[in-house]
Amino acid sequence: MAAETSETATPKRVVVIGAGPGGYAAAFRAADLGLDVTLVDPEPKPGGVCLHRGCIPSKAYLHVAGLLREAENAETLGIRFAKPVVDIERLRAWKDEVVGKLTSGLAALGKARRVRYVQGRATLSDARSLVVDGTTSGRETLRFDFAIVATGSRPAVPEALTLDSERVVTSTGALELPDIPPTLLVVGAGYIGLELGTVYAALGSRVTVVEMTDRILAGVDQDLARPVKAAATKAFEALRLGTKVASIEETATGIAVQLVSASGGAATTSVFDKVLVAVGRKPNSSGLGLETTNVEIDAAGFIIVDAERRTREPSIFAIGDVAGQPLLAHKATHEGTTAAEVIAGRKTAFAPRVVPAVVYTDPEIAWCGLTEEQAEHEGRKVEIGVFPWQASGRALTLARPDGSTKVVVDPGTQRVLGVGITGVGAGELIAEAALAVEMGAVVEDLAATIHPHPTLSETLMEAAEVARGLSVHLKKKR
């Protein structure tokens, strides 16, 4: 029998800094591949911002907001409920139960894989070692063959909106749901602002949303965003586009906010019980000791990586939000498994054709690949097929015809380049579209695939038929 190699006898030591969806995925895959793995994070259990204070808590609250809206709208269908009563303490406890189940499950999975979990904050000392502060045993030095930085991102708060007050919060504070403020100002009409504005409006707050630009949800085709804008206008006290916050000040009665219109005119001042700052996120790349290595960051603070997720320092990888856009949990997960496999010696790279995105408003918006507006901006010729949900039998039976499905097709090859969906459950529907783009499907593949009837998934098939000029359920264009 051949002698065992030293590499087999002594597994590579891997330290993963950050236990969010990217970090724990990297740690688990590395352990499955036989590596010696340590996972470091400030939280007592893995999950990161997404699970503890982001994706999961917000979606739990959005589900409740949806139930409240359904109860409110049921009368139009001939069903009458008593006015719902919200028990904030029980609602918050239920959210914590959901988070607790998931974090405990991850902890068990890590333990079963023999991943060592260290609670604390890691700081790199050089390209082969780091120090962890905050553990129960105090300070600990860890040496590694490879490190994966997965420290995520945090809410960005412009200096003009910085105020030391419990009344001014970011998404982290808003998801704690300590109370339901009578009035709430949301600064920013991106996905975080609109999602949390939706939650608080459903729970009873009078919500005002302000946005500096003249549109909501930058990067989304505005025809797809239109139903969301209409719903937000109805649900919110006000949706003010082209408006910026000039100043904020705490008073005896709340937060006095001075608003200025981009089109000119005098500033107006209003007082709100709370202000939610939701203008974006920035990477957690500072304070990690990166300056002790050859790791480089760009002007926005993102760590520069290659397709293998390796930094300019060969022993250090970076994944997830800290490694660049898009700042999405599922992107981080796939990057994490890529980094782990590269460290284990496998030939792989992170090179997806698309990374789907979802905004969990009501209605939802989901998209992947090339958008129509992006194609116009690039001067690229495309064919478009749009199927309105007013023609969908399933959407009508749900009393939710306020959606549409769009496909973007290359005129020459007929390949599906992108898909956008607005409507209830759009986030669940986009995966089929992402698969189609990823595998290089042509529009006929979508049109010829038999979809069950009646379903919302049919709208993707119908949109493909529209793109081919063969729609059964819409009038043919002359």
The residues annotated with a catalytic role in the active site are: 453
* CA–CA distance, 470 with 478 (Å, rounded to integer): 12
- Residue 394 structure tokens: 């399933």
Q: What is the DSSP letter of 303?
A: B
Contacts of 69 (CB under 8 A, 6+ apart): 202, 362
Residue by residue, DSSP assigns 47-114 as -HHHHHHSHHHHHHHHHHHHHHHHHHHGGGGT---PPP---HHHHHHHHHHHHHHHHHHHHHHHHHTT
Torsion of CA 189, 192, 193, 194, to 10 degrees: 80
Range 123-135 burial, b when 16+ CB lie within 10 A, else e: ebeebbebebeee
Range 287-318 burial, b when 16+ CB lie within 10 A, else e: ebbbeebebebeeeebbebeebbbbebebbbb
- Residue 100 structure tokens: 């607790």
Q: What share of the chain is helix, strand, coil (3-state, %, to 5)?
A: 35, 25, 40
- Residue 440 structure tokens: 């290089």
- Residue 473 structure tokens: 């359920």
Length, in residues, of the chain: 478
Beta strands, E only, 202-356 = 206-211, 238-241, 243-250, 255-261, 268-272, 274-277, 281-283, 316-318
Q: What is the DSSP letter of 415?
A: B
Q: What is the DSSP letter of 11?
A: P
**183 beta partners:** 206
- Residue 130 structure tokens: 């780091």
- Residue 373 structure tokens: 């507006």
* CA–CA distance, 477 with 475 (Å, rounded to integer): 6
Report the candidate in 222, 211, 228 with the shortest Cα–Cα distance to residue 373. Answer: 222
Place of tokens 């956008």: 420
CA 225 to chain centre: 17
Is residue 187 within 8 A of residue 197, CB to CB? The reply is: no
- Residue 95 structure tokens: 């959210």
